[in-house]
Structure 1
Amino acid sequence: MRKSRITTLAALGVAAALTLAGCASDGAGGTLEMAGKAPEKAAGSGDKGTITLGFLPSWTDGLSTAYLLQDQLGKLGYDVKMQTLSDAGPLYAGLSQGDVDVFPSAWPEVTQKAYMDKYAGSIDDLGTYYDNARLTIAVPEYSDIDSIDQLKGKGSQFDGKIIGIEPGAGLTAQTQKMMPEYGLNGEYQLVTSSTAAMLTELKSATDKKQDIAVTLWRPFWANSAFPVKDLKDPKGAMGKPEGLHFLGSKDFAKKHPDAAKLISKIVLDDAQYGSLEDTVVNTFGEGKEPQAIDAWIAEHGDEFDWIKK
């Protein structure tokens, strides 16, 4: 299923590239019409109205938690619509405008701080579900370096490139800040395109046992799917660990108090989050997310006091 997921992400990457061509180069602009797909069919009875979840499918923390929320909010009696986008900027804009009700896995403390600062007055923080997310530079396990500072002077070994993801991603901006801190500008080029393209490059290099440096993050299923290791960051230039938050549109909690209460109770540790993402992304895969959530709840539901079966 992991190979299948990479293929699917490659297709998403093409769509994302076409979408980004119509957006601001830093990812901060755009609208739902420019950057998103039409919401998927709603799940739930709809007795309490409709809640739209906006997420970035290539960032599988949001993919996994979006389908978890779809299941749980549906069982509360809401119609739940899924709005997929290709970049964080338009998603924050849509959230601030009320076109999206919930962002199921935001990185507002470091990675997406610029967006959170811009829209803070029109977005509600509904809670932190995971508190140890971080941005990384990763290389294959067989590489002879273990720290970002060891990249300096070895540009030819890595073809002078750090393979990144979307141009407008917070990870991209943070990597651009990191490179001069370690004296990598000029020796290395940060190559941006899409998460799918980065994973394709990573798979190709590791299959051939070649050196490659990529931008990655944790939590993310690719860290266990590929033979990679995080480079140490002695200068802390990739930023501090941060929390993953559920964000809501302005006054979401007042409009949907029972939904906000359920969301605020969701907290996952490393093992619980890892099992959720692995079940959704790898065990079941594209198109079978609802079945994956059913399976995860059947196995782990008794660990939580907020799960509705």
Structure 2
Amino acid sequence: MRKNRLISIAALGAAASLALAGCATDGAGGTSALTGGGTTDATGDKGTITLGYLPSWTDGLSTAYLMQDQLEKLGYDVEMKTLTEAGPLYAGLAQGDVDLYPSAWPELTHAEYIEKYGDSIEDLGTYYDNAKLTIAVPEYSDIDSIEDLAGRGGDFDGKIIGIEPGAGLTAQAGEMISAYGLDGEYTLVTSSTAAMLTELKAATEKQEDIVVTLWRPFWANDAFPIKDLEDPKGAMGEAEGLHFLGATGFAEEFPEAAELIEKIKLDDEQYGALEDLVVNEFGEGKEADAVDAWLDEYGDQFEWVVSD
């Protein structure tokens, strides 16, 4: 299974590149594109729900396709709208250009967006309660704590490899660098999730030192020989919940969808299996098949599942 995960990194990078290349300016002032593969031919009679997500953030990618499956079975049409940054996605929710965001981190990681747009966003419920931002190194590293990075900048080329500049994880990692007095010794390098994974793959294959920003739940924690660094200062924040967020009035406009969403709860095994199937086992273009496989295995554990 690990081989499948590593192979999928190339596909993830390609998907991210296509999303960036094929985007047009949306009403949120960011970049977005309606993915032709995501919009189905469903003829739902209960209205159309525009579901926004970031394809390179695979926790949201997996729940997005799960929600597409379930909402269409309820009788809604679902339009899948991809964006490349969290800021435009939250702005899209606030402006009504996006109806639903299926994997938000509003408690800590995305708190700045909630402060800015929260009055125009509806919290539809928490479906996972153990999300965590982390700083990670390879298992073969002799470093076990963020504190141990001090004075070891030369081993890591003075770099902490991050993801998208606008990600909440990126902002938190910047605060961590200051909290541990690593300014001047380390630079937080940002680009994209796919680029970070490519560097992590290359480094671990060569048994080289590397420090990356990561999070849980995320399939990469199992795909690579890596470990979270202890964070005695708590600079990366506490565990938080993952939420479904909707545009203001979502529950009133789509009452059956809101009722379904409120019931959804996932544990570590269930969530991890969903993400692994969508991202790795089936991959791009076969997300619906991945959701079907997940429902076949786990569907009888939930009372909320909508069947054909």
TM-score relative to the length of structure 2: 0.94
Q: Does 1:147 align with 2:155?
A: no
Residue 248 of structure 1: aligned partner = 246
**Which letter maps to 2:288?**
P
CA distance in 2, matches of 1:153, 1:12: 38
Residue 288 (str. 1) matches residue 286 (str. 2): yes
Structure 2 CA distance for aligned equivalents of residues 164 and 16 of structure 1: 19
Aligned residue in 2 for 1:36: 32
Q: Compute the displacement of 1:19 (Å).
A: 9.0
| Aligned residue identity for 1:38 | L
1:60-139, aligned counterparts within 5 Å? Answer: 60-139=58-137
Q: Which amino acid is 2:274 matched to?
A: L
Please tell me the residue identity of whatever aligns with 2:196: M
Alignment check: 8 A CA contact 1:280 1:289 kept: yes
**Corresponding residue for 1:173?**
171
Alpha-carbon distance between aligned partners in 2 of 1:78 and 1:13, rounded to the nearest angstrom = 27
Per-residue CA deviation, residues 164-189 of structure 1 (Å, 9 max, x unaligned), is 00111100000011101111110001
Partner Cα separation in structure 2 for residue 79 and residue 18 of structure 1 = 26
Identify the residue that residue 12 of structure 2 maps to in structure 1. 9
Q: Alpha-carbon deviation of 1:12?
A: 3.9
Name stretches of at least 5 consecutive residues in structure 1 with no aligned partner.
24-29
Q: Which amino acid aligns with 2:33?
A: K
Tell me if the contact between 1:164 and 1:214 (Cα under 8 Å) persists in the aligned partners: yes
Displacement of 1:84 in angstroms is 0.6
Name the SS of the counterpart of 2:33 in structure 1: coil
- Judging changes above 3 Å, is the alpha-carbon distance between structure 1 residues 90 and 195 closer, same or farther for their aligned structure 2 residues? same
CA distance in 2, matches of 1:35, 1:142: 39
2:264 aligns with one of 248, 254, 266 = 266
Alpha-carbon distance, 1:130 to partner = 0.2
CA separation of 1:18/1:173 partners in 2, compared to 1, >3 Å: closer, same or farther? farther
Q: Which residue of 2 is the match for residue 219 of structure 1?
A: 217
SS at match of 1:6: helix
Aligned equivalents of 2:105, 2:41: Cα separation in 1 = 26
**Count of paired positions:** 302
Which structure 2 segments of 5+ residues have no match? none
Verify: 1:276 aligned to 2:305, yes or no: no
Match of 2:46 in 1: 48
Matching residue's letter, 1:186: G
CA distance in 1 between counterparts of 2:97 and 2:41 reads: 18
CA–CA distance in structure 1, aligned partners of residues 20 and 150 of structure 2: 31
Q: 1:43 to 1:261 in 2, by over 3 A?
A: farther
Kindly state the Cα deviation for residue 66 of structure 1 after the two structures are TM-superposed: 0.4
Sequence identity of aligned pairs in percent?
66
Residue pair 1:19, 1:86 contacting (<8 A) in 2 also? no
Shift of residue 34 of structure 1? 3.8
- Contact between 1:55 and 1:63, CA under 8 Å: does it hold in 2? yes
Q: Distance in 2 between matches of 1:201 and 1:64?
A: 23
For 1:63 and 1:172, the matched residues in 2 are separated by 19
Code of the residue aligned with 2:269 in structure 1: it is: A
The letter for the 1-side match of 2:205 is D
User: Which SS does the other structure have where 2:196 is aligned?
Assistant: helix
